[in-house]
Structure 1
C-alpha cells in the first residue's frame, strides 16, 4: 500500500506541477505509463499519438518504467517528456530511478515543431522534418534525413534542427534529393562513431567529443573538447577555440593542442557518468571559448544539464509515516526541484 500511495501521490503532484507549464487553453498533458496498475491516460505513446483526442501542441509525459515502451512514430506536433537518466548518480533527480526507455523515435511529416526531452532511446532518433528539438536525452544515434528518396516520410528540405544537451553515441545527416540546413549540434557528449555530416551549415559547438572522430562539410566547429585521439576531417570547415588531446585541430584560431585531459575535467574515471566532465578549477577550458565562455558541454548559454532532467519540476524526495495516526490525517512530505 505504501508503494502504491507513493506512486499515486507523485503522479498527481507531478501533473499539477506540469499544468503550470502548459500553454493556453487547448493544449493538454497526457500521461503515458506502462507500469502495471498505473492510472494513466495511455499505456503506450503509440496509442496516444493514434488517438484523435491528442492534437497538435499537446504534451506526452512518459513515466519511468522497467519495461521498454513501444517505438514511436510521431506525425503530430507534440512535446514529449521523459524523466531523465543516470537518475541514481546525481542529486535531486527523481524519487524513483527508472527511466522512460524506448528503442526508437521517428519524427515524420506532420510532426514539424515537435520537441523531446528526458527520454532514453536505445537505438535511434530519426528526424525527417524541420523544426525539431532533441534535448536532454540519453541515446544511441541521432539521424537527420531529407529528400525525395525518403518518400512521404520526409520533407524535401529540412532545416531548424536543434540537438542539444544530450548524451549520444553518434550523430549524422543524410540527403536524398533535398537539402539540410540550419542544424545545431551543441552542448552534447558524443562517443562511439562520433559526428558525420555530409551537408553544409551544421554548427558543432560546446561538445565533449570522446569518439572515433568527426567528419563535416562547410560547417562551424568551435568551443569543443576532443579527447582520446579521435580524428578531425572534412572540407570547407572553420575550426575555432577547440581543445584536443593531440593535434586533431590545427594550431591557430584559438585552438589548443596536446592538452592533458587530466587537467581539463573534474575526473574522467570517477563521479557520476556525466558529472565527471565538468571543468575543474584551473582547467585550460575555462574562459577559452570564442567569446570568453567555457569550452565543453557545460559552457555557453545552453549548458548541459546533469541527468538530462527536463525543464519541469521533479519530485526527488518523498516521505510518509508507516502508520496512519488516530486523527486520520496522513502527513506526507515532498521535495521538488526545477531544472530549467
Structure 2
C-alpha cells in the first residue's frame, strides 16, 4: 500500500495549492518515474500524457506545459536528482529533511537530494523550499547558485551554501539549515564581483561561518551561529543584526568593521563579544540555554525555563525558532507552509458501497 499512500498525501498537497492559486499548475517530479517525453509519462507513479510525472527537474523546466508561476513538487526518493538549471519563475518545493528524526513531518522517510541548483535569467522571483542540497562528490556540489534578482532560498538543508552572481538585488536566505562546511555564502570568484545590494539572512541555523568581509547584508536577524569554536565566525556589514545567538565557545565576530553599529539584543557565548550593545546577554553555559537529546535541528530550540532565554527586540524569543511572526520562524525539517499528511493508514479491505476506508492524520505547517 505504500505507493498509494504516498500518492494520497501528494494529492492533498496539490489540492491545497490549487485551491490557493486557480491559475498556476502544480507538477510532480519523481526521480524514479519512467518519464521519457515520448512514450512514457511517469505512469509508474500515476502520470498521464496531459499531466506527466517528470523524472528530473530539468525536464519539467524544459516542458512547454510548465509556465512561469507554476509549482514543481519534488518528491522524496532514494535516487539523488540530477543537478538543475532554472530558467522560469517557479516555486520548487521538496519534502524537507531530517524526516527520520522529527515526528509528524512526513508519511515517508525520503527527502529530495540534489547536488546543485542554479537560477538563471528568466527565473526571477523563484522560490526554492524544502530541498536537501548535498555534496555528491563534485566541487560544484552543495550550493544554490543565484545569478538573477529576487530569489528566495527557504527551509533548505545545504552542505555548502549560496553563491551569488554579480550586481544582484533582493536575495532572501530564510529558515535554512547550513551543515558544517567552509562558509554559508560565496562570491562567484570573479575579480569584478559586486555583492548583492539586498541580502536578507534571517532565522537560519548555521554550523559554519558567515564571512563576507567588507560586503553588505541588509538584515541578519534571529539566527543561531554554531560554527567552529574559538575563531572568527562572522565578518560583514549590516543594517540590522539582532536577536541572534552565537552558540559556539569562544566565537568572535566583526560586524560593521568592529564598530558594532546596528547590533542589539543578541545572546553570546563569549563575554568579549558585543560588549556594551543594547540587550546583549552573555551565556557562558550554552547547554543550559538549548534543549538537549532532540534532533539535528531540534537541538537548536531554547529551553523555555532557561535563565538567559530572554526576549529579543520584538518581545519574542531569540534565535532561529524566534521572532514575532510565526511564519518567519525556522520550521523543523524545513517543511513548506502547506498541509502535511504524516500518517495515512488502511486495512486494505474495500467495504461494499463505501470503497476503501483510509485514516489520515495531517497538520498545517506555518
TM-score of the two chains, using structure 2 as the length reference: 0.83
- Residues 285, 295 of structure 1: CA spacing in aligned structure 2 closer, same or farther, 3 A cutoff? farther
For 1:216 and 1:237, how far apart are their aligned partners in 2? 11
Structure 2 residue 268 is the aligned partner of structure 1 residue 244: yes
* Native 8 Å contact 2:348 2:356 kept in 1: no
Q: Cα offset for 1:244?
A: 1.4
Structure 2 residue 75 is the aligned partner of structure 1 residue 78: no
For 2:355 and 2:162, how far apart are their aligned partners in 1? 53
- Residues 237, 77 of structure 1: CA spacing in aligned structure 2 closer, same or farther, 3 A cutoff? farther
The corresponding residue for 2:321 is 298
Structure 2 residue 120 is the aligned partner of structure 1 residue 108: yes
Equivalent residue for 2:59, pick from 43, 47, 60: 47
Structure 2 residue 341 is the aligned partner of structure 1 residue 315: yes
* Native 8 Å contact 1:129 1:158 kept in 2: yes
Q: Cα offset for 1:209?
A: 0.4
* Native 8 Å contact 1:136 1:165 kept in 2: yes
The corresponding residue for 1:38 is 45
What secondary structure, in the 3-state scheme, does the structure 2 residue paired with 1:262 have?
helix
Q: Cα offset for 1:262?
A: 1.8
Q: Cα offset for 1:95?
A: 0.5
Q: Cα offset for 1:219?
A: 4.6
Structure 2 residue 253 is the aligned partner of structure 1 residue 232: yes
TM-score of the two chains, using structure 1 as the length reference: 0.89
- Residues 309, 218 of structure 1: CA spacing in aligned structure 2 closer, same or farther, 3 A cutoff? closer
- Residues 328, 187 of structure 1: CA spacing in aligned structure 2 closer, same or farther, 3 A cutoff? closer
The corresponding residue for 1:289 is 312
Equivalent residue for 2:286, pick from 257, 261, 278: 261
The corresponding residue for 2:303 is 280
What secondary structure, in the 3-state scheme, does the structure 2 residue paired with 1:251 have?
coil
What secondary structure, in the 3-state scheme, does the structure 1 residue paired with 2:169 have?
strand
The corresponding residue for 1:150 is none
The corresponding residue for 2:9 is 10
* Native 8 Å contact 1:171 1:196 kept in 2: no
Unaligned segments of structure 1, at least 5 residues: 148-156
- Residues 290, 9 of structure 1: CA spacing in aligned structure 2 closer, same or farther, 3 A cutoff? closer
- Residues 195, 306 of structure 1: CA spacing in aligned structure 2 closer, same or farther, 3 A cutoff? farther
For 1:260 and 1:298, how far apart are their aligned partners in 2? 19
Structure 2 residue 152 is the aligned partner of structure 1 residue 133: yes
* Native 8 Å contact 1:194 1:214 kept in 2: yes
* Native 8 Å contact 2:349 2:357 kept in 1: no
> Higher strand share goes to which structure?
1
